[in-house]
Each structure stands twice: as structure tokens, then as C-alpha cells.
């Protein structure tokens, strides 16, 4: 009976995922994944912008109309993805992706604006997913499905949890990710903790097969292997990881580490793990030179989004050279 249950539950999960994908497609006004991709490519583009060597951050001079479009989209998104101004493109060099399901209208605009500012500064696409796609697992699992969706019209995706924020907009994000990734297909960071905090980058390189991972911010290149990787992480996860802690991680993080334990040879060939200070640091572990600030954890932090994430989002948004046009507020 127990074996039969273990076989049936993953099948039920797949059925519910299919239903969730249908509901998601309905929410954006299309039917099916192909139709959604066609819609994303056919959506009206924001106004053009011109090269301007005098700009020190993105190298582009942005028109007033483009700023107004970006600000309006951040406050009230009219589609699944924000696309930067410029000539239409069917495939983007990098897509920033975040799942904002459940966030209040007080917090969400500041988080969305944080991503839109980066996208506008550097000519990237930003996709925001506002619903869960699986009704049997924790909502955290949906980011695995959403990451796969974001890869279809992009050469790479940088997925960030809603409590992760860009702190600097003058650092070329794609170039930095490529340098850290070291030619691999995927990149994750180490989990938080005193032991990991004391480790150097060289020491992290030596424990790629065993170190605990954090999926609050991760990077994936488009390709057959990445799509297969996301599928297997989702389908091979033990039932114990669906809602609770696994033996070595939390929800989707445990599923990623479970994949590593089953496919260690593939992991060594395609994935690189870097120190969490690069993309997941916060409080004492974050440095002003860091690009991403991650308010990790949730159960131990009271009023996390309104009390911590929102003020930090407003503060970091002001670091963008375009912030004055968005009327960002905060300390």
C-alpha cells in the first residue's frame, strides 16, 4: 500500500501541475505555453533608447517615454514580462525572474521596481510570476516550473526569491554571472551558516559535491541539459520534500540536493556552487560591493516583508541612476 501511494502521489502532482499551468495560461489571457510565448513576443514594446557614452552605468540614454512606461509597468504590470526598450527581440540574453505570489500591494511594487530598474539599466528582460503552479506541494516548488518557463525565450535566466534585492545597478550582471559560473550550465550558492561564512571561495570549490545549497538566487543557461535538470529536480524529489524539510535542505533546495546525490557526475560537469556572499548575503554577511542582498528565511523573522524587505528595497532602488524618475522613497 505504501509503495502504491508513493507511485500515485507524484502522478497526482503532475496532474495538478498541468491544471496549474492551464490556470496560469488563463490568467494571462492565452491558452497553452506556445500561445503565451507568442504573446510575449508580440506584446507592444516600450519606446526606443539611444547609445550615450557619457552614461557611466548602462551606457544608454533612456527616453522620458521609456521611463514612464517602465514605472507604470512596475506599479501595475500589464503582462507577464517587462521587456526593455529597443528593437524587438525573440530571444533575450538574460531574463530576471521572480515569483511574487502572496505579496501585498504595499510591498510588491517596490520589489518589482527593483527588478525593472536593473532590466532598464542593462537591457534585460524581467518576468514576474504571480501564482503557484502546483496545488499539492509548497508554493516554493513553483519557482522550478517558472524558471523553466522563463528559459523558453531567453539564453539564460537569473531567478531571485521575492526577498532578494539588487543593491547595485552599475555592475554588468550577465558578465558577472558568466564569470562566476565558469563555463558551466548552472550556478547556485552555498547555504547560510557559520561554517559556510568562514569558507573561502577556494574551499567552496573543494566541497561542490557535499556543501548545502541555497536557491534564493540561481543562474541557469538555456539548453537541453538545463530543461532536463529542472524536470528531474521536480519529478525525482521525495514526498518528504513536498512541504517540509528534507534531510539536507528546505523544499526545492532539498530537491536540488537530491538531484546532486543521484546524478553526481552530471552535477560536477554542469553546475558550479559559489559562496553565498556573492548573491545571498545579508546583515553581517553582505558587503556594499555585493550585487544581491537576500533577506533569507521567513519563519523566524516577524513582519519580514513590510518591516525588513520593503525599507531595504526602497533604499537600494535609490542606488540606480534612474531612481529619481521613479520617485523611490526610503532611508
pLDDT for residue 100: 92
Which residue ranges make up each domain of the chain? 9-326
pLDDT for residue 84: 80
Alpha-carbon distance of 213 to 189, in angstroms, equals 6
- CA-based angle 205:225:94, to the nearest 5? 80
Name residue, grid cell 538545463. Answer: 226
Q: Which residue stretches of 76-141 are H helix?
A: 108-122
pLDDT for residue 278: 80
**Mean pLDDT, 10 residues at a time, over the chain (331 residues)?**
49 50 41 42 37 39 80 90 76 92 90 93 91 81 90 92 90 92 93 74 89 91 95 83 56 87 94 86 65 73 80 87 64 42
Alpha-carbon distance of 154 to 96, in angstroms, equals 10
**Burial (Cβ within 10 Å: 0-12, 13-18, ≥19) of residue 75:** middle
How far CA 310 is from CA of 118, 164, 192, 287, 331, in Å, comes to 17, 11, 22, 19, 11
Closest CA to 150 of 93, 188, 108: 93
Alpha-carbon distance of 25 to 45, in angstroms, equals 21
pLDDT for residue 47: 34
Report the CATH architecture of 9-326: Alpha-Beta Complex (3.90)
pLDDT for residue 331: 42
Q: Is residue 39 a contact partner of residue 28, using CB atoms and an 8 Å limit?
A: yes
Alpha-carbon distance of 3 to 126, in angstroms, equals 42
Q: Is residue 123 a contact partner of residue 58, using CB atoms and an 8 Å limit?
A: yes
pLDDT for residue 25: 38
What is the DSSP-derived secondary structure letter of residue 281? B
pLDDT for residue 287: 64
pLDDT for residue 320: 83
pLDDT for residue 270: 96
pLDDT for residue 146: 92
Alpha-carbon distance of 4 to 39, in angstroms, equals 41
pLDDT for residue 29: 37
Name residue, grid cell 540606480. Answer: 320
pLDDT for residue 114: 94
pLDDT for residue 284: 61
Show the beta-strand stretches assigned E in the chain: 50-51, 60-61, 81-82, 95-99, 125-129, 156-160, 164-166, 186-190, 213-221, 245-246, 249-250, 271-274, 292-294
Alpha-carbon distance of 310 to 317, in angstroms, equals 10
β-bridge pairing 186-190 and 271-274: parallel
φ/ψ of 266, rounded to 5, equals -65, -40
pLDDT for residue 68: 84
Amino acid at each position: 500500500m505504501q509503495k502504491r501511494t508513493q507511485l500515485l502521489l507524484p502522478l497526482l502532482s503532475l496532474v495538478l501541475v498541468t491544471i496549474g499551468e492551464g490556470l496560469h495560461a488563463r490568467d494571462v489571457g492565452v491558452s497553452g505555453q506556445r500561445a503565451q510565448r507568442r504573446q510575449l513576443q508580440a506584446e507592444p514594446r516600450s519606446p526606443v533608447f539611444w547609445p550615450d557614452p557619457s552614461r557611466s552605468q548602462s551606457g544608454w540614454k533612456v527616453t522620458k517615454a521609456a521611463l514612464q512606461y517602465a514605472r507604470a509597468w512596475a506599479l501595475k504590470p500589464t503582462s507577464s514580462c517587462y521587456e526593455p526598450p529597443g528593437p524587438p527581440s525573440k530571444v533575450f540574453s538574460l531574463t530576471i525572474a521572480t515569483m511574487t505570489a502572496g505579496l501585498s500591494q504595499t510591498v510588491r511594487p517596490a520589489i518589482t521596481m527593483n527588478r525593472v530598474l536593473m532590466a532598464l539599466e542593462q537591457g534585460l528582460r524581467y518576468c514576474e510570476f504571480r501564482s503557484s503552479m502546483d496545488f499539492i506541494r509548497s508554493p516554493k516548488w513553483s519557482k522550478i516550473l517558472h524558471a523553466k518557463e522563463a528559459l523558453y525565450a531567453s539564453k539564460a535566466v537569473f531567478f531571485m526569491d521575492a526577498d532578494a534585492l539588487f543593491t547595485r545597478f552599475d555592475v554588468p550582471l550577465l558578465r558577472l554571472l558568466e564569470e562566476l559560473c565558469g563555463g558551466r550550465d548552472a550556478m547556485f550558492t552555498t547555504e547560510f551558516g557559520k561554517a559556510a561564512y568562514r569558507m573561502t571561495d577556494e574551499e567552496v570549490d573543494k566541497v561542490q559535491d557535499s556543501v548545502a545549497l541555497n536557491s534564493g538566487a540561481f543562474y541557469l543557461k538555456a539548453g537541453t541539459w538545463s530543461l532536463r535538470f529542472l524536470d528531474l529536480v521536480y519529478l525525482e524529489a521525495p514526498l518528504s520534500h513536498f512541504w517540509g524539510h528534507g534531510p539536507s535542505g528546505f523544499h526545492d533546495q532539498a530537491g536540488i540536493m537530491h538531484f546532486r546525490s543521484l546524478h553526481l557526475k552530471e552535477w560536477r560537469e554542469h553546475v558550479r556552487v559559489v559562496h553565498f556572499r556573492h548573491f545571498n548575503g545579508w546583515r553581517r554577511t553582505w558587503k556594499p560591493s555585493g550585487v544581491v542582498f537576500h533577506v533569507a528565511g521567513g519563519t523566524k523573522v516577524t513582519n519580514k516583508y513590510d518591516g525588513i524587505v520593503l525599507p531595504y528595497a526602497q533604499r537600494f532602488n535609490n542606488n540606480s541612476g534612474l531612481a529619481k524618475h521613479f520617485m523611490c522613497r526610503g532611508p
